[in-house]
Amino acid sequence: MPTWDEILRNIGSTVNIFDSTRRKYIKDLSDYTGRNTIIYYSAFLQKGVLSRQGVDFGIHDADKTGFMTVIHNLDKTKGLDLILHTPGGNVSATESIVYYLKSIFGNDIRAIVPQIAMSAGTMISCACKEIIMGKHSNLGPIDPQFGNLPAHGIIEEFENAKKEISSDPRQIVIWREILSKYNPTLIGECQKAIKWANTMVSQWLKDNMFCGDPDADSKISAIISELGSHATTLSHSRHIHVDALRALGLKIVDMETDNELQDRILSVHHSAIISLTQTKSIKIIENQEGKAFMQSV
């Protein structure tokens, strides 16, 4: 007969219905594609209100531990399908995570976006050899943000101030109050952040998605000009659909061309969203073997 503590440990280790259901569908998808499958899901749509209490739903350095956990012992020769559902996050953490994934799987990484991968999530997608999306899926602009303010927008505001004050010095009274909210070095930091993001994504596109393409430079330039320009996208929260992304030159694979693949991807997506909605989890990083790294509140 098991003791009290043995029974307690067994209860604590029992997989709940949300985990078992989600893991079944991740395994089903991996079995169908013959590839490693890792999901990276954030509860930013379900529990975004918690960001007011300091909960970080974005990509950050702690996620590296999650990826290291779920990648350990996988058969690296099978490549990787990375399913993304994220609002974006820290650029330096994104750079580090992409470097790590590429050091393990090389260029054999596909991004799958069942619903939305914004900002840094779009940057990660651009590091992959192709992006699988549905008609309902969206990526977003990659222009850097400073405290939820677009770096491009901050520079634009300073340029407008210079222009108006130059033409009418009396405008300095108005602009002094507006510009007082910015630090003196902010413009330089904005310029560096824009250059960093654009250079990073350009290199990722060149190394993988457009590797060996004689028109790589022109295609990449068009993509960066669109996704990296606040003046073009108008808002960092802009949802960019499949047709527009394909028109830019990105290698988009339509989820709808393979009904079985679509059904399996959406089953993973729905089970992950239900898990985030019905449990305390705010982020899930998990592979097809059931190994997971989860953050909760």
Per-residue pLDDT of the chain (297 residues; tens, 9 = 90+): 555 555 445 555 656 899 999 999 999 999 999 999 999 999 999 998 888 888 889 999 999 999 999 999 999 999 999 999 999 999 999 999 999 999 999 999 999 999 999 999 999 999 999 999 999 999 999 988 777 777 777 777 777 777 878 888 887 877 777 777 777 788 888 888 889 999 999 999 999 999 999 999 999 999 999 999 877 788 888 999 999 999 999 999 999 999 999 999 999 999 999 999 999 999 999 999 999 999 988
Under 8 Å between Cβ of 245 and 140: no
What per-residue confidence (pLDDT) applies to 8? 46
Instruction: Report residue 48: phi and psi, to 5°.
Output: -55, -25
Domain positions in the chain: 15-140+239-296
Whose structure tokens read 């659909």?
Answer: 241
89 burial (CB, 10 Å; 0-12 / 13-18 / 19+) is: buried
What per-residue confidence (pLDDT) applies to 172? 81
What per-residue confidence (pLDDT) applies to 123? 97
H/E stretch holding 109: strand 109-113
Distance of alpha carbon 243 from alpha carbon 135, whole angstroms = 8
What per-residue confidence (pLDDT) applies to 177? 75
Distance of alpha carbon 40 from alpha carbon 192, whole angstroms = 28
Helix H segments across the chain?
Answer: 4-13, 17-33, 62-71, 91-105, 120-126, 151-167, 172-179, 186-204, 216-227, 230-233, 242-248, 259-278
DSSP 48: G
Distance of alpha carbon 242 from alpha carbon 22, whole angstroms = 26
- Compute how many other C-beta atoms are within 10 angstroms of the C-beta atom of residue 130: 16
What is the three-class DSSP state of 35? coil
Under 8 Å between Cβ of 82 and 110: yes
What is the three-class DSSP state of 81? strand
What is the three-class DSSP state of 74? coil
What per-residue confidence (pLDDT) applies to 159? 76
CATH number for 15-140+239-296: choose from 1.10.8, 3.30.530, 3.90.226, 2.40.128: 3.90.226
* Residue type at 7 in one-letter notation: I
Distance of alpha carbon 162 from alpha carbon 150, whole angstroms = 19
Could you report the per-residue pLDDT of 98-110, keeping only the tens digit for each?
999 999 999 999 9
Distance of alpha carbon 14 from alpha carbon 175, whole angstroms = 61
Under 8 Å between Cβ of 119 and 142: yes
Distance of alpha carbon 288 from alpha carbon 281, whole angstroms = 19
* Cα separations in angstroms, 104 against 15, 205, 208, 218: 29, 18, 14, 29
